[in-house]
Structure 1
Amino acid sequence: MAPDKLFWNLDFGAWDFNFGIYFQLVFLPFFQYWLVNSHSVNGKSGLFLIFAANHSKDIMTGKDLRIVFMGTPDFAVASLKALVEGGYNIVGVITVPDKPAGRGRQLQQSAVKQYAVEQGLHVMQPEKLKNPEFLAELEALKADLQVIVAFRMLPEVVWSMPRLGTFNLHGSLLPQYRGAAPLNWAVMNGDKETGVTTFLLSHEIDTGAILFHEKITIGEDDTVGDIHDRLMEIGAGLVVKTVDALAEGNYTAVAQDDIQVESLRPAPKIFKEDCKIDWNKPAVEVRNLIRGLSPYPAAWTELVDGKGKVLSLKIFRAEIEPAEGLTPGMVETDGKTNFKIAAADGWLTISDLQLSGKKRMAVDDFLRGIHDPGQLQVQ
């Protein structure tokens, strides 16, 4: 905000002063003397001291803060990038250690580390967050604030270190979907909306006081991959908003216990067996499972071909075709472009899939590689 201009006109004996003082109407705790050169109507001149407020050092913005950022995957990179490109002072980045991956088992850097190195940021990769050497290095950064996006659970000695505390960006509308896989579970459960929330860290996971949130609609055809990409960008903006608000003290923290909900839905870590399709369930539930796990980790089923060979199949996209009198798990195909499997109350017409050990492919490519696809059955 531009400062207001106040003209003071004083009549003090023989002296008539007219001078401009620029200031913002903010009460501040310290002052300075301003030296003012004035003149009188009779030609005499003199120097006078004016006692005026100096507030320039007291106005704190997000860009004045020393920030430590913690994160790992692509989802976190968007937030770090928003802070860096916004001119915020990132004094350190904490991410996971490099890990072997792929067929060659070569060390792979996290997405956050790759971006941080490109930007010349100071990177730390502790194996243990309570390691004394790491804690000393972290404390030496003298962070005012720590920002967490898709990282890991922090010990209190870490999250309580900055004077403004530590906040996390979570992929749900808290208090719903506390846990490791909030985006997946929201889609798998058929929710119509979701969002992101920033909250202050506390002792229990994902239970701290809420700062801000942003909502989005989940479309009928949205996969968790679609939701991930949208919330990644929205979340980055929310992180910047939260940093500024904490710096300026312009926020109201709301305890999660004060938010009334009918029932809390958890978002636990997803394991392989959670991803297996149960064809005895209604078609809508099966399709929601597929959408909520696409593209990763992906819903799967097992088929048996005419020779008795078991085929493990990941399914990324399917549409519902209502039907009655079906046997769950029965397969119907023309052997060319149409491939569907029956759920309890309808067909799931599959269009995008992947055989174990193969690349993701369209259904026509899959059928072309199967000898006598009409013999396929669900295991």
Structure 2
Amino acid sequence: MKKFPRIVFIGSTPFSFFSLKELYTRKYNIVGIITTPDPPFFKKKNSFPIKEYALENHIPLLQPKNLLDYSFLRNFTMWKADIQIVVSFRILPIEIWSYPKMGTFNLHASLLPQYKGAAPINWVILNGEKKTGLTTFFISNQVDSGNILLQKEVEVKKDETAGELEDKLKKISGSIVRKTLEGILQKKIKPIPQKIISSSLLKYAPKISPIDCKIHWKENSIDFIYNKIRGLSPHPSAWTTLFFHKNKFVRFKIFFVKKIRKVHNFPIGLVILSSCEMKISVKEGFISVIEGQIEGKKKMNIKNLINGIQIRKNLFVR
């Protein structure tokens, strides 16, 4: 194990795990890990790979509720970090990110300065972008605005979902974090200020709320709806309300679709069923559902989902 630098790793999601594993298997000296507290009554196995990896490899671990708590800060400073690496974590107070003499750098899942915020992967697809990437940068006072260290661009495929794009970015995340660290240590990276972009051209990636996930069939175009379903799949997932006759209705999540451009005279939102196809009429054609989940049931492919629907006529989404 390398003695220098002393690294504190800060992360909270499965996305973070790839960078942590890359550094540790390369024998970098991870002297401590900071992650989120365990949620109460949550026992799902393998849901916390950061914590599990720390315990398996006997790496000191802290799970603070309050990042300014005296007890936490005392234990944190005892690690005497030379540098800190952050991947998928909440905003750090200055007392934490300014502590190491070599600074604290963050990995962000977009090509900064575009898509600053909590959900860059989702918003890139929601907006129909053709490229995105990863950025490492030194943390500063303003969120996601510090000097850039490295960037890696990747293509966004036209039918790619947020989950598929995240998996693709995961696979290269560890490498860019390691290369950033090595560049800092070897003094081969010169931090560059982020480009100044006019507010009219700057795109953000705020946290997505459940109401943001509702599909508006009448108001939006076929491309907008298609991108929305891709951009929210598999989580937090796009949803609509499926109406049967006699005022019966259920919430309906949609995960995978294809779009069919076709002129038609059907009312917007009509659900057309066959033995193995569910088409929803929109302005420029149809959204054909491939995988969905009716409230109270499991996620299903479309054939199984249709088999479970007893009422086949007078179906609408709103």
Q: TM-score, structure 1 length as denominator?
A: 0.80
State the partner residue of 2:25.
85
Change (3 A) 1:305 1:147: same
> Equivalences for 1:96-135 in 2 at 5 Å?
96-100=36-40, 110-135=48-73
Query: 1:101·1:107 contact (CA, 8 Å) conserved in 2?
Result: no
State the partner residue of 1:367.
306
Residue 323 of structure 1, aligned match among 238, 262, 267: 262
State the partner residue of 1:291.
230
* Residue range with higher mean Cα deviation, 152-161 or 260-269: 260-269
Q: Matched residues in 2 for 1:107 and 1:322: separation?
A: 43
Query: 1:177·1:267 contact (CA, 8 Å) conserved in 2?
Result: yes
Residue 15 of structure 2, aligned match among 52, 65, 75: 75
Q: Matched residues in 1 for 2:68 and 2:184: separation?
A: 26
State the partner residue of 1:344.
283
Query: 1:66·1:143 contact (CA, 8 Å) conserved in 2?
Result: yes
**Structure 2 gap segments, 5+ residues each:** none
1:273 CA drift (Å): 0.7
Deviations 1:226-248, CA, capped at 9 Å, x for gaps: 11011112111100011111112
SS at match of 2:73: helix
1:326 CA drift (Å): 4.0
> Equivalences for 1:213-252 in 2 at 5 Å?
213-252=151-190
For the pair 1:205 / 2:140, whether they are aligned, the reply is no
SS at match of 1:374: coil
1:201 CA drift (Å): 0.4
SS at match of 2:40: strand
1:100 CA drift (Å): 2.3
Q: Matched residues in 2 for 1:198 and 1:173: separation?
A: 9
Change (3 A) 1:106 1:354: closer
SS at match of 2:80: coil
**Structure 1 gap segments, 5+ residues each:** 1-61
Residue 153 of structure 1, aligned match among 91, 97, 105: 91
Relative contact order (C-alpha < 8 Å, sep 6+): which is higher?
2
Change (3 A) 1:231 1:142: same
Deviations 1:113-172, CA, capped at 9 Å, x for gaps: 112112211100111111122112111111110000001100001000001010000010
Change (3 A) 1:296 1:101: farther
Change (3 A) 1:360 1:229: same
Q: How many residues align?
A: 316
Q: Matched residues in 2 for 1:275 and 1:106: separation?
A: 25
Deviations 1:186-213, CA, capped at 9 Å, x for gaps: 0010000000100000111111111001
Q: Matched residues in 1 for 2:199 and 2:65: separation?
A: 38
1:316 CA drift (Å): 0.6
Q: Matched residues in 2 for 1:378 and 1:129: separation?
A: 45
Q: Matched residues in 1 for 2:110 and 2:57: separation?
A: 29
Q: Matched residues in 2 for 1:140 and 1:249: separation?
A: 27
Query: 1:95·1:110 contact (CA, 8 Å) conserved in 2?
Result: no
SS at match of 2:134: strand
Query: 1:68·1:93 contact (CA, 8 Å) conserved in 2?
Result: yes
Q: TM-score, structure 2 length as denominator?
A: 0.94
Q: Matched residues, percent identical?
A: 40
For the pair 1:136 / 2:106, whether they are aligned, the reply is no
Change (3 A) 1:107 1:226: closer
